[in-house]
Structure 1
């Protein structure tokens, strides 16, 4: 038992770090995180307040339409077919850059990294985690429409 405890000890640390990252993201975006405790499900808001969630009450909420998946995938396919030499992740990265540029820098995150000599290096990355699918779909549709109009 001692050996397996040591072997998988990293999992507990990783889970805790993931939870902490979620709390930080919630504060940045002024949202909340939801998680299960010994006393049931709770919603923790960015300001630190916690409320219990009645799961039975909340089961009636609207589920996202599954049709959006095929619609978005078809739009991506149409865009990708117009530039087949581009790798898939390169395509997604390029599209995210364009989306961000067209939407006041949406998803732009500025960070300071430590350089190899301990110096601080300003850097940035895109995080579109909170972008709703309907906005992404509309953006992709505009790209398809513009390209078809140009041809």
Structure 2
């Protein structure tokens, strides 16, 4: 039994390193990690806050509400109709940029681009993969409300 323990000891080290790497990524991307403890599932946020996931909402047993799709699309349509010459992806890109600038650079990722002659240049892009729909919807609603006040 001790032979098996020594033989597979690397798995424990690898798992620990993977968890540490996930924490680093969560901090860099302002997201969270989810893992199981002896007390149940928890969600650990990039700022170190830990939330128990032992309730129906956090365990993901319920699907996201379907109605949000129509609400979000309706908001995007209203914003787009005010700028009909803008291409769809241009509109989304501009909205993401505004969201990021109003939320401490949310989603901004830095990268190095290599040119055709091996030259390197710093660049950045926006990654909104982890942004929850309710946050995006609230942002879009504020855009619509602000434009309504201006008119």
Q: Does 1:70 align with 2:70?
A: yes
Counterpart position of 2:37:
none
Q: Does 1:28 align with 2:25?
A: yes
Counterpart position of 2:94:
94
Q: TM-score under structure 1 normalisation?
A: 0.63
What do the CA deviations read for 1:4-50 (whole angstroms, capped 9, x no partner)? xxxxxxxxxxxxxxxxxxxx8885226459xxxxxxxxxxx9xxxxx
Runs of at least 5 residues in structure 2 that lack an aligned partner in the other structure:
1-20, 35-43, 45-57
Q: TM-score under structure 2 normalisation?
A: 0.63
Counterpart position of 2:41:
none
> What's the CA shift for 1:67?
0.6
> What's the CA shift for 1:136?
0.2
Moved over 2 A (4+): 24-27, 29-33
Runs of at least 5 residues in structure 1 that lack an aligned partner in the other structure:
1-23, 34-44, 46-57
Separation (CA, whole Å) in 1 of partners of 2:79 and 2:60 = 36
**How many residues are matched?**
106
> What's the CA shift for 1:116?
1.5
Separation (CA, whole Å) in 2 of partners of 1:125 and 1:28 = 17
